[in-house]
Structure 1
């Protein structure tokens, strides 16, 4: 799996190198080709702004900073693994802020894929001392972290009273906008759809209609609370981040036991069963919500390497064919 990623990243760099050298190659075309046609070909390839943006993004991308808020047990770590399609979160603990927030780096070997500020719901947070409330403390930490997007995680099978979390996010959003002169994108994720009855259906392709309808009812329930309380969000989506993992030799392992495995097995865990539901749609939503292009590209490089390559290949073929027609 990791070898495949290395090959894909190498293909990206090869395309980047080709793009950089394209101008020199066009200049070396035979003299029989008129200068006007050469200039037209160069302008078609090197003047394509979408392609240039993608090429620049290969090197200038950075890990997206994600602020996660959700009650204990909502499945924050499993969501990160589901987004990346690999076992990355256990994540490396880089800074213990308080009992209410934790900052992580999700890594693939030495490469940082995402930076995450993981918080509990405000109702579960505790005071640092008598002079600083849990709410004030978290708002300060969040603004110091400067997230690219906030993910508000809810549980599909537990209709929690989330009014306090919604009110907290409104204050976070307001403070963020005042400090950064920029709105904070907020995406609501209703996780653990696989646990909705009938629970025996874990494969999303086999979800019966009554299960899908119940999932949508929960989404509408949470959406109603959010709208009623006046929290502005970019989108809301129900997902399942269910993945069963297995070692390279095919041994199935539950998540609670993964940390007891040898390091080699942990680094090379494979997907034994893929129960992810609407994760691709969530990635689309997150990419659209994130306002910073470098962070957008970082999310693609973390979770959609093959898609980035395919997109670049199609783009190069298209504009090269147009250039040759000229």
Structure 2
């Protein structure tokens, strides 16, 4: 596992430096591409974009997700954490938090902290949960600043559910109001036939029992007037063995529903925690998710740039913006492009409109974007063409740099993406 973690650290460090890389790109934009005034205006537009700034802050300052876990002993807390991470994590750093009703832990491996949790399992198992205990727990949870509350309930459990839901309602009301509450139905592999551990082989009867359990838990939540953001059935069943270095590795993987849980968490958490989670547990796919966020931001920026009276007079500004988007997506894959290479990719894709409005570009003086020949058009461009082309170029870049698509397919990918963008735009107008 040592080599795997070292590779992960290197990628984490690389992607974590993305915000600095972007700042350098704008600082080092060749002067023969756009003027200093245009560069400053484009930087100002980017810095005023809240979503982009949140994303950059998340990349600069990722932190482990913080969860409050509500569930009894044996509900599968540690197994779930291991299943989410895909690693055999150590439960470490129990912190004294001044109450016997909960414990605080970090989960880590090789010095990398994956999650921080407050485990409240003692509450449901105690005979009383008085006002004093409630206030103590409230202080603990609020000082912890959690990202979400995970209510864990064993699929085969029939007792105590009402009590556990009622206690969870008190916790949400007193200490976690406004946070996502995710009801996780654990150990669904134990439902009949329990001998079947491979999710792809779950028979119809087992799947029906899983749906019945979801329906049952939803009904109990409704009865107690408690709202959950999601009800997600999972199996954390993993058989571990030791690799040649003596580190635990997965021998048999019986996980079910874990990807759905991770998807939901990434969409629900504070962006710093979501980025840390994604980078820690599925490094490749989080790169694509980050790239998609940048496509969204740059697509909007392209439209803004096209409408700006100061910088829309030179179409090269939009090409510079699209070049930077290409370079960012390449960076997420572990590659770093120079402006010349990015320009060449843009030329092959048509630039600006990405085959929906193809430009014929004559590059002069090496990397200079100049003498753009657009019959019947000036150097200005409409916002819809600029935005749609930027979206298409971003999707083509994801296909090439992150999915390994063949270069010969990129024009078709960009064209399809442009059509997709236009359809989405039409549906919003309609």
**TM surpasses 0.5:** yes
From 227, 238, 249, the equivalent of 1:270 is 249
In terms of Rg, which structure is larger?
2
Structure 1 window deviating more from structure 2 (229-238 vs 139-148): it is 139-148
Whole-Å Cα distance in 2 between the matches of residues 209 and 175 of structure 1? Answer: 41
> Number of aligned pairs?
300
TM-score (norm 2): 0.61
CA separation in 2, counterparts of 1:37 and 1:187? 49
What is the aligned partner in structure 2 of residue 288 from structure 1? 267
Q: Quick one: distance in 1 between partners of 2:97 and 2:87?
A: 24
Segments of structure 1 that go 5 or more residues without pairing to the other structure are 250-263
Quickly say closer, same or farther: Cα 1:103–1:232, change in 2 above 3 A. same
Q: Is 1:23 paired with 2:26?
A: yes
Contact 1:243 1:276 (C-alpha < 8 Å) held by counterparts: yes
**Bigger share in strand:** 1
Change (3 A) 1:7 1:322: same
Q: Which runs of 5+ in 2 are unaligned?
A: 299-319, 324-345, 353-430
The 3-state SS of whatever aligns with 2:236 is strand
Q: Distance in 1 between matches of 2:294 and 2:227?
A: 39
TM-score by length of 1: 0.79
Aligned to 1:298: 276
Root-mean-square deviation (CA), in Å? 3.2
Alignment of 1:308-323 (within 5 A): 308-312=286-290, 322-323=322-323
Q: Relative to 1, partners in 2 of residues 1:321 and 1:101: Cα closer, same or farther, differing over 3 Å?
A: same
Q: In 2, Cα distance between the equivalents of 1:200 and 1:225?
A: 29
Structure 2 residue aligned with 1:253: none
Query: Taking structure 1 as reference, are residues 137 and 44 closer, same or farther at Cα in structure 2, changes over 3 Å only?
Result: closer
* Structure-to-structure mapping, 1:1-326, within 5 angstroms: 1-13=4-16, 15-26=18-29, 28-29=30-31, 31=32, 33=33, 35=35, 39=39, 50=51, 52-95=53-96, 99-120=100-121, 122-125=123-126, 134-135=133-134, 137-176=136-175, 183-249=178-244, 265=246, 268-290=247-269, 292-312=270-290, 322-323=322-323, 324=346, 325-326=351-352
Q: Give the whole-Å Cα distance in 2 for the aligned partners of 1:236 and 1:163.
A: 16
State whether residues 150 and 186 of structure 1, in contact with CA within 8 Å, keep that contact through their aligned partners in structure 2. yes
Per the alignment, do residues 23 and 137 of structure 1 end up closer, same or farther by CA in structure 2, a change over 3 Å counting?
Answer: closer
